[in-house]
């Protein structure tokens, strides 16, 4: 039910789903998984795949054991495996005419506001072009990610910045159980979690797979981020063929439900953590438009002050200098000086390049 309602879906694939214990690539699995992606696309869903596997693919190519790798060598192996990984996806997905792109991210990229906004715009543009972004952690430079194997949390951050409705974490079990199902046969599957309490924390266990470096603990950490981002998250079994189809049909999985709405989460994120870098003064017409839930356009801006860049947090004042709203600017202060008071269709000529028409988009704005 939850996936049917979702417009933007993030799917995280672990290394163990791409390479089995015998170091063989699970080509049949990936081929069937691509059919799941095609079905979602046919239902007008926007998909982002977060994939582990660069180091695992590098180890396979070089015939190395991941457990014996030192950190600096892991980075080199990751750079080799990254090409192998994307070639595998490209070769498989093109058979169904699914276009893919690659985005390399670190947790730092998703947690710094300006980098996160740039990533968000990139995702949006790739969706418009009809591509499925495949996000990989940048193992060749991100030492922390290699050391802690935090791709579950990376996936939850991607869900957060892309404004996703659902995150699917494909695991080697059906979901979160009352006990470790590999040890205790009486363990029961928990179908839905509204609150992550101490009991849920205690249940999480670590994985022992050679290629994967996460476990249930990192998935619970990811769920916490999603719950505060207005994004639903599901842990499901990724090992069978057509895993997404099975999650939808059998509902044999664990859903973590958000504590706040996606819009409230985004607006809370906008006004938190940093002080405004500048301000714009708007006319009465622009204020009336904002009252109706519209975006702020250049035509309604009378004055700009402060020095800020695209993506910075700014104040929006009315003509009496009263603070009316705050938001994330789509333009720098230098650009706004050039375009303020002008209609949107004049922006290209004034700046010399194509850009967004909204100075502050309605979804990037919070009324004060």
Strand, coil or helix: 18: helix
When comparing pLDDT for 228 and 232, which is higher? 232
Q: Is the pLDDT of residue 149 over 60?
A: no
pLDDT band at 144 (very low <50, low <70, confident <90, very high): low
> So where are the chain's domains?
2-267, 274-367
* CA 357 – CA 336 distance, rounded (Å): 11
Q: For position 324, what pLDDT does the model report? A: 93
When comparing pLDDT for 41 and 172, which is higher? 41
Q: For position 213, what pLDDT does the model report? A: 47
Q: For position 256, what pLDDT does the model report? A: 96
Q: Residues 262-319: pLDDT tens digits?
A: 878 877 777 665 578 899 999 999 999 999 999 999 999 999 999 999 888 899 999 9
Q: For position 31, what pLDDT does the model report? A: 97
Least confident of 139-153, 279-293, 312-326, 350-364: 139-153
Strand, coil or helix: 166: strand
Q: Is the pLDDT of residue 323 over 80?
A: yes
Q: Which helix (H) or strand (E) holds 314?
A: strand 313-317
Question: Which structure tokens are listed for 154?
Answer: 């990376």
Q: Is the pLDDT of residue 354 over 70?
A: yes
Q: How far apart are the first and last CA of the chain?
A: 36
The fraction of the chain above a pLDDT of 90, given in percent, is 58
Question: Which structure tokens are listed for 212?
Answer: 């994967």
Average pLDDT of the chain is 88
User: Residue ranges of the alpha helices (H) in 9-168?
Assistant: 15-18, 27-42, 54-62, 71-93, 107-111, 113-128, 143-148, 151-162
Q: Residues 62-118: pLDDT tens digits?
A: 988 877 777 778 888 989 999 999 999 999 999 999 999 999 987 777 777 778 888
Q: Residues 4-14: pLDDT tens digits?
A: 999 999 999 98
pLDDT band at 185 (very low <50, low <70, confident <90, very high): confident
Task: Tally Cβ neighbours within 10 Å of residue 355.
Answer: 16
Domain covering 2-267 assigned CATH 3.30.2010.10 in the classification: no
Average pLDDT (45-62) is 92
Per CATH, the homologous superfamily of domain 274-367 is PUA domain (2.30.130.10)
Q: For position 146, what pLDDT does the model report? A: 40
Phi, psi for 13 (deg, rounded to 5): -110, 130
Q: Decide if 2-267 and 274-367 have a common fold.
A: no
When comparing pLDDT for 56 and 210, which is higher? 56
Task: Tokens 């700009």: give the residue.
Answer: 304
CA angle 336, 325, 299 (to 5 degrees): 35
Phi, psi for 20 (deg, rounded to 5): -85, 180
């Amino acid at each position: 039910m939850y996936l049917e309602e979702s417009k933007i879906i993030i799917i995280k694939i672990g290394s163990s789903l791409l390479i089995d214990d015998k170091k063989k690539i699970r080509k049949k699995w990936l081929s069937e998984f691509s059919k799941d992606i095609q079905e979602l696309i046919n239902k007008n869903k926007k998909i982002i795949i977060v994939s582990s596997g660069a180091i695992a693919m590098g180890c396979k190519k070089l015939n190395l054991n991941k457990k014996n790798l030192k950190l600096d060598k892991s980075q080199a192996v990751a750079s080799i495996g990254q090409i192998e990984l994307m070639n595998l996806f490209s070769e498989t997905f093109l058979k169904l005419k699914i276009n893919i792109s690659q985005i390399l991210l670190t947790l730092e990229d998703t947690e710094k506001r300006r980098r996160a906004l740039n990533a968000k715009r990139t995702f949006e543009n790739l969706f418009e072009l009809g591509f499925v972004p495949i996000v990989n952690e940048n193992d060749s430079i991100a030492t922390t990610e290699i050391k802690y194997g935090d791709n579950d949390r990376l996936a939850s951050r991607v869900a957060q910045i892309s404004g996703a409705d659902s995150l699917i974490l494909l695991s080697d079990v059906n979901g979160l159980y009352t006990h470790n199902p590999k040890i205790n046969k009486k363990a029961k599957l928990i179908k839905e979690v509204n609150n992550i309490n101490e009991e849920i924390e205690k249940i999480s266990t670590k994985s022992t797979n050679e290629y994967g470096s996460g476990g249930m603990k990192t998935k619970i950490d990811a769920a916490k981020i999603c719950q505060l981002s207005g994004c639903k998250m599901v842990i499901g079994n990724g090992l069978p063929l057509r895993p997404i189809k099975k999650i939808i049909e059998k509902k044999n999985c664990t859903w973590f439900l958000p504590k706040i709405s996606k819009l409230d989460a985004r607006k809370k994120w906008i006004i938190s953590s940093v002080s405004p870098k500048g301000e714009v003064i708007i006319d009465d017409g622009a204020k009336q438009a904002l009252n109706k839930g519209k975006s702020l356009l250049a035509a309604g801006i009378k004055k700009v002050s402060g020095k800020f860049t695209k993506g910075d947090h700014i104040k929006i004042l009315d003509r009496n200098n009263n603070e009316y709203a705050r938001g994330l600017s789509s333009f720098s202060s230098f650009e706004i000086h050039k375009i303020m008071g002008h209609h949107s269709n004049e922006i290209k000529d004034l700046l010399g390049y194509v850009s967004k028409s909204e100075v502050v988009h309605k979804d990037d704005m919070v009324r004060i």
